[in-house]
Every structure is written in C-alpha cells, then in structure tokens.
C-alpha cells in the first residue's frame, strides 16, 4: 500500500504553554534561518511546510515540531490510492475506516482509526450492519 502524499501543515502559532518568541528562536536555530523570516510564519494562518511524505515520516516530523512548541497537523493524501480488494471504496467495513458511510466525511484526518463518526455521530459498525441487513432483505 502506497502511503505517500501526506502533508505537514504549520498552524501559524505556537503550542499552548510555549512562549512564541522562544519557539521562533529555537526553530530559527534548528532550520538555520533568521528569526524574522520564521516569525513571519506565526500569523495564525495554516501553511503547508512539507508535501509528499509517507504517513510515518509525517507524524514523526509533527512530533519533532511539537517538542519545539510549533503547532502542526498532518493531512492525509488528497486522493488516497484505490484499494482493489474493496467493492465500495467510499465505505470501509474494517477497523480502519477512511470515510463515514453515512455522511461521507474524511476520517483519516484523525490519524487513528475511529469507530464512530465525529461529524454525524453514528457508530460505523452498527450502521454498516443495519445497512447490510436492509440490502439482504430487498
């Protein structure tokens, strides 16, 4: 399975509890850039800082930035690779759902498998079981 295409997005702010000036100073030393250019990034607007990462590397880099006090998030690939062993790529019946079968929202944003949809509140396994039962009756 190709898991490339993840992006590391800087949120434009320091992690809560970190001093913004200290974070800028540490980050400028770490990246070898002047503090002024780094400081311009702290404008509370998201900026994609890395693209095309595999999942593990993206989360590793997020952890490194977090320890420095930089607020970052990992975004999944825009178009995840199709998995040929699934009949309906929009609906996953396994433990790692990528899309909610009811509302269709992307569940990979959370980084870990979810059993209930944070958007519409359904319990995915129950929803799929009920949906499968209604298809069998028809």
The mean pLDDT value for 46-68 works out to 88
For residues 112 and 97, give the distance between their C-alpha atoms in angstroms, rounded to a whole number. 10
Name the phi and psi angles at 48, rounded to 5: -75, 120
Final residue in a domain of this structure, among 49, 75, 101: 75
Q: Please check whether residues 70 and 94 belong to one and the same domain.
A: no
Report the pLDDT value the prediction gives residue 50, as an integer from 0 to 100. Answer: 87
C-alpha of 66 from chain center: 15
Report the pLDDT value the prediction gives residue 83, as an integer from 0 to 100. Answer: 46
* 97 and 124 Cβ atoms separated by less than 8 Å: yes
What are 68-105's pLDDT values in tens digits? 999 988 888 875 444 434 444 444 444 456 777 777 77
Domain that holds residue 99: 88-138
Identify whether 63 is part of a domain: yes
What are 12-51's pLDDT values in tens digits? 899 889 999 999 999 889 888 899 988 888 888 888 888 8
């Amino acid at each position: 399975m190709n898991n490339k295409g993840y992006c590391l997005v800087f949120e434009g702010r320091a992690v809560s509890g970190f001093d913004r000036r200290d974070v800028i100073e540490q980050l400028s030393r770490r990246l070898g850039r002047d503090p002024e250019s780094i400081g311009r990034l702290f404008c509370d607007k998201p900026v994609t800082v890395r693209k095309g990462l595999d999942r593990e590397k993206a989360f590793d880099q997020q952890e490194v930035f977090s320890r420095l006090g930089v607020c970052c998030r990992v975004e999944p690939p825009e178009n995840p690779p199709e998995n040929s062993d699934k009949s309906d790529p929009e609906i996953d019946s396994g433990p790692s759902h990528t899309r909610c079968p009811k509302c269709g929202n992307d569940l990979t944003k959370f980084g870990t498998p979810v059993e209930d949809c944070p958007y519409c509140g359904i319990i995915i396994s129950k929803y799929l079981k009920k949906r499968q039962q209604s298809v069998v009756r028809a």
